[in-house]
Structure 1
Amino acid sequence: MAPAAPTPLPQDPAPPLRRNRNFTVFWLGQALSVLGGSVTYLALPLLVLEATGSIVRMGLLTVVMGATGIVTGLFAGYVADRTDRRRLMIACDLGRAVLLGSVPFLWLAGPRLWVLYVLTAVVTVLKTLFDVAYVTSVPALVRREDLAAANARLMGTFAVGTLLGPVAAGLVTAGVGAAWALALDGATFLVSALSLRWVAFGPAPGGPGPGGDGGGTGRQGVRGRLREVFTTGFTFLWGHRLLRPLTVLLTLLTFLTMGATDLLVFRLQEDLGRDAAVTGAVVAVSGLGVVAASACAARLRRAFGFGPCWLGSVGLIGAAVAVTGTSASVPVIAAAAAVFMVGMTLGGVSSMTLRQEVTPEPLLGRVTSAFWTVHNAAGPIGAAVLTLCAGRWGVPPVSLAGGVFCLLIAAAGLLTPLRSARSGGPPAPPAAAGPGSGAAGGAGADTGGARQA
C-alpha cells in the first residue's frame, strides 16, 4: 500500500467548539453510529443464543471479538498513519453496513454459525481500524485548547449510546428478531459514512518524512516496515517521560476495571438476590456519572491539570469498587457505580487529551494503537482473575482488595512526573531516522513531553 498523507492539524485556526461546524457534524454522525454499535454488541450474542441455546457458543463469539481486536490493534495505527483517515473511516463504515445489513438475508436460509463468527472477525477488524482513525482525527478538527471539551463530548455520547443501544436492541429483537437488529446497525453506519463526507479535516502535509515508506526494498526494507508497524508506537510510549508511567499504571488499572462490572452484577443478583430489572436500573444510574463527568472534565482539567485529574480519578474508582462490593444497600451501590463512571470518564478524557497533545501527528495512529493494545490486553486476564477469586472468596473481600489496589496505583503515580503534569506541552517533533525505521522511527528517544485514553 503506497503511503498517503495522514490527516494534518488544521493550517488555519479552527473556530471555537460551539461554532465548529466540522466537529459538530463529525460528533452527531458518530453519535448515531455509537448507538448502532451498541445494538450489535447485544444483538450478536442474542442471535447465537437464539440459534443454539449454548452459552459456550455465545462466549466463543466474545473470544473472537477480543482476540481479533488485539491482533488488529498491532497494525491499525500504522494503517491510520499511512492513509487518509477520512477515507479509511468511510470505507470501514461502508464495509460494516454491507456485512451487518446482509445478516437477515443470510439467515433466511437458516442459521449458519460459522458465518456469524467470520462476520464478527471482519467487523471487529473494521471497527478497530475505524476507532484508531476516529480518535486520532480529533486534533485535526478542533483547537488545541478545545481538545478536552471535544473529547468529553465524544465520551459522553459514547456513554449515552451504550446505555440506549442495549434497550433498542432488546426492543427490536423482541419485535422482529436479532438479525434485523443487526441490519439496523448497518443502516447507522451508512449515515455515519455520509456524515463524514461533509467533514473537512484540513489540507494534507507534504508527505512522509525520511524513511516513511518503510526504508527501501528487499529484506532490509521488509524488516524496516515490520519494525515500523509493530514497534514505532511502543517505542514512543516507552521513551516519553509521561506516557511511560501512564501506560504502566493504566494497564494495571485496566486489569481491575474490566472485571468490575461482573463483580457488580454478581453482587446484586447472587449476593443480594435482586432481579435483572434492579441490575439494569443500577447500570442506568451509573450512566449519570458519565454525563456529569463529561460536562465538567474540560473545566477540571483546565483548573487542576492532567496529573491531579487522572490520579484523582483512580482514587474515585478505587473507592467506588470497594463500596459496590461491600454495601448491602442498592441506592448506595447505585451511587457508587455512578462515582465509578465519573472516575472512568474523567480519567479517559484527561489521558486521551494528553496523548493527542504530546504525540507528533504522523505518529498519532501508531501510538494510539500501541497504547490501546498494551492496556486492553490486561483486561480479559484481570476479569478472569477477579471472577475466579470472587467465586472462591466472595465479592466483598475481592472488592476491598481491588479498592486498595487502585489506591496503590494512585500512590505509585505520585512518585512519577504525572503528579505535577498540567498538560503535555507541544508535541515532540518526529525525528528523522535511519533506513527502515519509518517517518518517526527515532521519536521514541525524544523524551520531552507527556500523554493517555
Structure 2
Amino acid sequence: MKSLSHNRDFNVFWLGQALSVLGGSASAVALPMLVLAATGSVFQMGLVTVVGAATAVVSGTFAGYVVDRVDRRRLMIVCDLARGLLLGAVPFLWLAGPRIWLLYLLTAPVGVLKSLFDVAYVTAVPSLVPPEDLIRANGRLMGTFALGTLLGPVVAGLLTGGVGAAWALGLDGATFLVSAASLLRVRFTPRPGEAGERPGPRGAGVLREVFVAGFRFLWAHPLLRPLTVLLTLLTFLTVGATDLLIYRVEEDLHQSSAILGYVMAVSGLGTLVGAVTAAALRRRLGFGVCWLGSVAATAVGFAGIGVSRSVPVIAVLAALFMFGLTVGGVCSMTLRQEVTPQHLLGRVTAAFWTVHNASGPAGAAAVTALAARHGVPAVSLAGGVFCLLLVGAGLLTPLRGSRAGASGPPPPAPVSRLRRPLRGRRR
C-alpha cells in the first residue's frame, strides 16, 4: 500500500477517473431511463443497449491495434474530450423534445471512443505501477468504480426526478472533461518490451496485426482460452441485466425513479465489497476458484432479482450480482496484465473484449424481447440457471485447479505456442 500511496502519477490518474466513473455510472442508469420515459418499452431499452454493445464489438477489432501503435496518454485525452462534447450536448438538444433517434446516433460514436479509452486504460496501469502492485492498483481502481456505482444511480435518480434524465448524460460529459485535464498531469513509464508509438505494417500485415496477434495469444494460453469462452456466454446474459432491473422496479413494481436510484446505489455496495476483497480472495483461493465462485454469486443475484417482489430484497440481490461481476472482472483483468507481454497487451485486451462482447448485442436483444413476451421473473430465473451451468462447465476446464494469482503471476504458456512466427514474421 505504501508504494501506491506515494505514486503521484497513479494517484492523479486514479482521482481523475474517480469523478469520471461517477458521471459514467449516472449516465448508464439515466440512458435507459430516458428511453423508458420516452417510449415505455423494455424492448426499446434493449435496442439502445444493442447499439452500444454492437459498437463495442466492431470497435474492439481495431482498438487494440490502435492502442499498441499510438501514444496511449494522448489517445485517452482525445477520447475524453470528444465524449465530453457529445454527451454534454444531449440535455440542450433534448430541450426541443424527446428524440430517440438522437440517442441511437450518439450511442455509436460514444461507444467507439469508450472502446479505445477502455483498452488504453487497462494497458496504462502497468505503466503506472510496478508488477507487484498490479492487483492492488486494479482493486483500488475497481473500488473507485464501486463508489461511482454507489453514488451515480442516486445522482441519476435525483436528476431524473428533478430536471430530467438528459441532464445526467450532460453531467457525464462534464466529468470526461475533468478526466482529460487530470491525464494532462500524468506520465506513463514504458516497461521493458513496450515500444510505444511505432509505424505499423501495411496491407495484409495490418490484418494479421489487428485480427490475429491478440486472438492467437488468447487461444494459446491454457487459462485465457476457457475464460474467454465462458465469459462470452456470461456476457450474452448479463448485458441486458440493467434493463431488466430498471423495468422490474419501475414498471412491474410501480416504483419511482428516486427509488430505482437507491436500488442501483445499494447494488453499488456489491461492487465496492467486491473491489475491496478481490485481491485477498484471489490470493487465498487462487484464480480459478475465485472466478468460478464469482459467476455463482452472479447466478443467484440474477435469478433472485426477477423472482422477488420486495424492493429491499431486490436491492440486496442486485448487490450480490454486482459483487460477482466485480470480483470476476478484477481477477480476469489482472490475469491478462500478468501473462501478456507489454507489446501485445492492447491487442490481447481488445481481442478478449471483442470475443466476449460479440455475444452482447444478441443477448441484450434476446433477453429484453423474452422479458417483453414472458415477463422479467421467468427470464431472470432461467438466466440464473444458465449461469450455474457455466460454473459446471468451468469445473471441466483447467480453471478448476488454477492457483494463478495465489502466490504471484501464473507461469506463461510455452514459448513455442505463444510466439510462433506470423507467416515468417518474427515476434
TM-score norm. by structure 2 comes to 0.84
Matched, 1:352 2:333: yes
Equivalent pair of 2:193/2:343 in contact (CA under 8 Å): no
Letter in 1 for 2:364: A
Please list, as runs of the form range in 1=range in 2, the aligned pairs for 1:100-115 lying within 5 A after superposition. Answer: 100-101=87-88
Deviations 1:92-127 (A, max 9, x none): 222333444456777789998877655443332222
Letter in 1 for 2:174: A
Letter in 1 for 2:111: T
Q: 2:186 aligns with which of 195, 199, 209?
A: 199
Matched, 1:168 2:155: yes
Matched, 1:243 2:231: no
Matched, 1:33 2:20: yes
CA distance in structure 1 between the aligned counterparts of 2:164 and 2:255, rounded to whole angstroms:
28
CA distance in structure 1 between the aligned counterparts of 2:161 and 2:309, rounded to whole angstroms:
33
Structure 2 counterpart of 1:78? 65
Equivalent pair of 1:43/1:178 in contact (CA under 8 Å): yes
CA distance in structure 2 between the aligned counterparts of 1:207 and 1:153, rounded to whole angstroms:
24
Letter in 2 for 1:431: R
Greater shift in the superposed pair: 93-102 or 194-203: 93-102
Q: Which has the larger radius of gyration?
A: 1
Equivalent pair of 1:255/1:381 in contact (CA under 8 Å): yes
Unaligned runs of 5+ in 2: none
> CA 1:426/1:256 → structure 2, altered by over 3 Å: closer, same or farther?
same
Equivalent pair of 1:228/1:436 in contact (CA under 8 Å): no
Deviations 1:411-441 (A, max 9, x none): 211111111222242556773735686x74x
Structure 2 counterpart of 1:147? 134
> CA 1:156/1:84 → structure 2, altered by over 3 Å: closer, same or farther?
same
The RMSD of aligned alpha carbons is 3.5
Please list, as runs of the form range in 1=range in 2, the aligned pairs for 1:256-405 lying within 5 A after superposition. Answer: 256-268=237-249, 272=253, 274-405=255-386
CA distance in structure 2 between the aligned counterparts of 1:182 and 1:329, rounded to whole angstroms:
29
CA distance in structure 1 between the aligned counterparts of 2:268 and 2:424, rounded to whole angstroms:
46
Deviation at 1:245, TM superposition (A): 0.3
CA distance in structure 1 between the aligned counterparts of 2:363 and 2:222, rounded to whole angstroms:
26
Deviation at 1:326, TM superposition (A): 2.7
CA distance in structure 2 between the aligned counterparts of 1:318 and 1:108, rounded to whole angstroms:
41
Deviation at 1:222, TM superposition (A): 0.2
Q: 1:431 aligns with which of 413, 419, 426?
A: 419
Deviation at 1:285, TM superposition (A): 1.8
CA distance in structure 2 between the aligned counterparts of 1:106 and 1:411, rounded to whole angstroms:
49
> CA 1:298/1:364 → structure 2, altered by over 3 Å: closer, same or farther?
same
> CA 1:102/1:383 → structure 2, altered by over 3 Å: closer, same or farther?
closer
Structure 1 counterpart SS, 2:358: helix
Equivalent pair of 2:153/2:262 in contact (CA under 8 Å): no
Please list, as runs of the form range in 1=range in 2, the aligned pairs for 1:43-62 lying within 5 A after superposition. Answer: 62=49
Equivalent pair of 2:88/2:169 in contact (CA under 8 Å): yes
CA distance in structure 2 between the aligned counterparts of 1:412 and 1:269, rounded to whole angstroms:
35
CA distance in structure 2 between the aligned counterparts of 1:92 and 1:145, rounded to whole angstroms:
29
Deviation at 1:271, TM superposition (A): 5.2
Deviation at 1:383, TM superposition (A): 3.0
CA distance in structure 1 between the aligned counterparts of 2:92 and 2:372, rounded to whole angstroms:
42
CA distance in structure 2 between the aligned counterparts of 1:320 and 1:63, rounded to whole angstroms:
23
> CA 1:82/1:49 → structure 2, altered by over 3 Å: closer, same or farther?
same
CA distance in structure 2 between the aligned counterparts of 1:281 and 1:352, rounded to whole angstroms:
29
Total equivalences in the alignment: 418
> CA 1:201/1:248 → structure 2, altered by over 3 Å: closer, same or farther?
same
Structure 2 counterpart of 1:230? 211
Deviations 1:333-381 (A, max 9, x none): 3322222111111111111111111111111111111111111221232
Structure 2 counterpart of 1:3? none
Deviation at 1:137, TM superposition (A): 1.0
Equivalent pair of 2:62/2:210 in contact (CA under 8 Å): yes
Deviation at 1:91, TM superposition (A): 1.8
Structure 2 counterpart of 1:67? 54
CA distance in structure 2 between the aligned counterparts of 1:53 and 1:262, rounded to whole angstroms:
14
Deviations 1:267-288 (A, max 9, x none): 4455555555544433222211
Deviation at 1:183, TM superposition (A): 4.7
Greater shift in the superposed pair: 27-36 or 121-130: 121-130
TM-score norm. by structure 1 comes to 0.79
Equivalent pair of 2:16/2:178 in contact (CA under 8 Å): yes
> CA 1:393/1:15 → structure 2, altered by over 3 Å: closer, same or farther?
same
Letter in 1 for 2:69: R
Letter in 1 for 2:13: F
Letter in 2 for 1:371: F
Could you tell me the percent identity over the aligned residues?
66
CA distance in structure 2 between the aligned counterparts of 1:303 and 1:158, rounded to whole angstroms:
23
CA distance in structure 2 between the aligned counterparts of 1:115 and 1:233, rounded to whole angstroms:
34
Letter in 2 for 1:421: S
> CA 1:134/1:104 → structure 2, altered by over 3 Å: closer, same or farther?
same
> CA 1:232/1:197 → structure 2, altered by over 3 Å: closer, same or farther?
same
